[in-house]
Amino acid sequence: MRLFPWPWADPDDRHRALLTRAQAGDREAFRALYQDLYDPVSRFVGRRVRRREDVEDLVGRVFHKLLEHLGDIDLRRGSVRMYVLSIARNAVIDHARARREGTPIEDVAPILADDRGTPLDSLVQQERIRALRAAVAALPDHVQELLALRYGDGLEHAEIAALLGESTAAVKQRLSRAQRSLREVLQEGEVVDVRF
């Protein structure tokens, strides 16, 4: 019994094969690549841009840029997914600069209230979320982005390192410091100045 609808167990293998076909002019391969990568790109951009119209516009720009630079992609430098997410990251940065506003980051680790909980449970949960937001907001922007990449977008340490142009060890160390600081801030119940 096959667990996946395609013969590749690894989505990166599928993306590589689709990219190779798309580079040779196969429109259906590009369409399939677009369908595979649309949701991750849309979620990535949606966590950082407030207005839905802007999100849709930026996602369109990302795939337009992918199409323009289809022949320039070097698969030895990383996965197709990471290449597209780096285009998305640059598009979000350009968008934020053009609007002269900070890049919004959704909750790093959303804590959802249980539907079956009591009203008191819901209030306690809302207070935890408020405290987490305040603690995350006190962190420098680059640390907020690091936490969002790891916990919001679900990227692995090596993927974050490739996206940011840093070593995997540096990313692991910075994430560990951020987690430790958040834990301390939440235990103390106050927001403190955190440096990384």
Tens of pLDDT, residues 131-147: 888 888 888 888 888 88
Distance from C-alpha of 83 to C-alpha of 86, rounded to nearest angstrom: 5
The token pair that represents 99 in the structure block = 């609007």
Q: What is the pLDDT of residues 76-122, one digit of tens each?
A: 777 888 889 999 999 998 888 887 544 344 433 333 334 445 566 66
Residue 189: the pLDDT is 63
> Does position 64 have pLDDT exceeding 90, yes or no?
yes
Residues 6+ apart with CB under 8 A from 177: 196
Q: What is the pLDDT of residues 4-49, one digit of tens each?
A: 455 555 778 888 889 989 989 999 999 999 999 999 999 999 988 8
For tokens 């990535």, what's the residue? 44
Say which amino acid occupies 56. E
- What pLDDT shows up at residue 157? 92
Cβ pair 126, 113 in contact under 8 A: yes
Q: Regarding predicted confidence, which is higher, 68 or 140?
A: 68
Give residue 127's pLDDT: 80
Whole-model pTM? 0.57
User: Residue 58: in which H helix or E strand, if any?
Assistant: helix 52-68
Structure tokens at 64: 């337009």
The whole-number pLDDT of residue 117 equals: 53
